[in-house]
Amino acid sequence: MNERLGKTVLHVEGLSKVYGEGPTRLEALKPTTFDAVAGEVVAILGPSGSGKSTLLTIAGLINPPTAGSLTLNGKLAIKDGQPVANLSTLRRQELGYVFQRSNLIPFLNGEENVRLALEIDGVSTREARERARTLLDSLGMSGRMTAMPAKLSGGEQQRVAIARAMIHQPSVVLADEPTAALDSSRGRQVMELFRDSAHEHGAAVLVVTHDHRTLDLVDRVLEMEDGVLAEQDVAARTT
Ligand SMILES: Nc1ncnc2c1ncn2[C@@H]1O[C@H](COP(=O)(O)OP(=O)(O)O)[C@@H](O)[C@H]1O
Ligand SMILES: [Mg+2]
């Protein structure tokens, strides 16, 4: 059990994003307010171009919003569209990212890819190795830790990427179409890993997905359309 479970770790209020100006002006994210709590997996659905990646990159502090505020694990990061904290520190401490392609460092093996995230933060190699192995083990990668990324299957690469995103126990994990390159059974396994790790490590996981068949594994479904995010009712989820 993680002490963070149930705590609001992401609070977004009136967050919006406008790209361009004049005739090219596009309000990709309309003012949006929502919370996510540690331990839950929130799926974000919606057609291409609806603003899902915009929302995720803003929540991940890698894309500045036009307006609004954002609080991560109780720390106010952005207020009235402006940074009010050291964003790179918050990124390192509070956030984990998983992308469509695993983006592993090709010349480091799986364990080294995961370990690096800790060593950058000053954790000793010995401790980092221990923690990386334990986590990879729990993700079903015990026999594959020292394989180079090129030797791993797509599903295995995403497991390493999930371990890398979670090794520093972030409060929020953002995953943008992490199962898009996987077949449906691998995709389902990855969603199961998110569910289990969200609970075990006390993180809120926001995952953009197109696969309706895995929605039984998530706690909440948000639907994005034309920059508007709406909570989808649970009963409608399986249809
Ligand atoms: N950097 C950018 N500059 C201008 N327009 C952008 C930029 N990024 C995304 N957009 C536009 O914003 C809208 C939402 O994009 P995006 O957030 O990537 O949607 P999704 O992830 O749901 O496909 C799209 O119309 C897209 O073309
Ligand atoms: Mg996208």
Q: How far out from the chain centre does Cα 184 lie?
A: 20
Backbone angles phi, psi at 108, to 5 degrees: -115, 140
Q: What is the pLDDT of residue 186?
A: 83
Q: What is the mean pLDDT of residues 145-172?
A: 94
Closest approach atom of ligand 1 to CA 176? 21
Centroid of ligand 1 to alpha carbon of 206 (angstroms): 18
CA dist list (Å): 57 to 95, 98, 108, 182: 11, 11, 26, 22
Confidence of residue 138 (pLDDT cuts 50, 70, 90): confident
* 139 lies in some domain: no
- The mean per-residue pLDDT over the stretch 8-24 comes to 97
Residues with CB under 6 A from ligand 1: 19-20, 26, 28, 46, 48-54
Specify the 3-state DSSP secondary structure of 145: coil
User: Which residue has the least CA distance to atom 18 on ligand 1?
Assistant: 53
Q: What is the mean pLDDT of residues 199-214?
A: 93
Mean pLDDT, residues 193-204: 92
For ligand 1, the distance from its centroid to the CA atom of residue 190, given in whole angstroms, is: 26
Question: How high does pLDDT run on average in the chain?
Answer: 93
CA 114 to chain centre: 16
Q: Ligand 1 mean position to 98 CA, how many Å? A: 19
Contact between 39 and 204 under an 8 Å Cβ cutoff? The reply is yes
Q: Per-residue confidence at 238, pLDDT binned at 50, 70, 90?
A: low
Is residue 129 very low, low, confident or very high in pLDDT (cuts 50, 70, 90)?
Answer: very high
User: Region 30-51: what's the mean pLDDT?
Assistant: 97
Predicted local distance difference test score (pLDDT) of residue 230: 94
| 125 and 161 Cβ atoms separated by less than 8 Å | no
Pairwise pLDDT comparison (139 vs 39), residue with the higher score: 39
3-class SS at 164? helix
Q: What is the mean pLDDT of the segment spanning 123-130?
A: 96
Question: Ligand nearest 44 Cα, by number?
Answer: 1
CB 15 within 8 A of CB 68: yes
Task: Map residue 124 onto helix, strand or coil.
Answer: coil
Give the model's confidence band at 183: pLDDT under 50 very low, under 70 low, under 90 confident, else very high: confident
Domain-embedded: residue 92: yes
| Mean pLDDT, residues 138-165 | 93
How many domains, the chain?
A: 1
Query: Is the model's pLDDT at 234 over the cut of 90?
Result: no
Q: pTM score > 0.95 for this model?
A: no
The yes-or-no verdict on residue 235 having pLDDT over 70 is no
User: What per-residue confidence (pLDDT) applies to 171?
Assistant: 96
Q: Residues with Cβ within 5 Å of ion ligand 2?
A: 53
Sequence letter at residue 73: N
Could you list the residue range(s) of the whole structural domain that residue 34 is in? Answer: 8-105+170-236
Does the pLDDT value for residue 236 go beyond 80? no
Q: Is 128 part of a structural domain of the chain?
A: no
Q: Which ligand is nearest to the CA of 51?
A: 1
The per-residue pLDDT for 174 is: 97
List pLDDT tens digits, range 79-123.
999 999 999 999 999 999 998 888 899 999 999 999 998 998 899
Residue 237 burial class via C-beta count within 10 angstroms: exposed 0-12, middle 13-18, buried 19 and up = middle
Q: How far is the CA of 46 from the centre of ligand 2 (A)?
A: 9
Query: Domain containing 99 — which CATH number?
Result: 3.40.50.300
What CA–CA distance (Å, rounded) separates 83 from 76? 9
93 in a domain, yes or no?
yes
What pLDDT shows up at residue 91?
Answer: 95
Nearest alpha carbon to residue 46 among 36, 32, 60, 66 = 32
Q: What is the pLDDT of residue 197?
A: 87
Cite the DSSP H helix spans in the chain. 52-59, 87-94, 110-119, 125-138, 154-166, 184-201
Whether residue 208 lies inside any domain: the answer is: yes
User: Is residue 145 situated within a structural domain?
Assistant: no
DSSP string, 17-63: EEES-GGG-EEEEEEEEEEEETT-EEEEE--TTSSHHHHHHHHTTSS
In a domain, 91, yes or no: yes
pLDDT at res. 202: 93
Ligand closest to the CA atom of residue 59 = 1
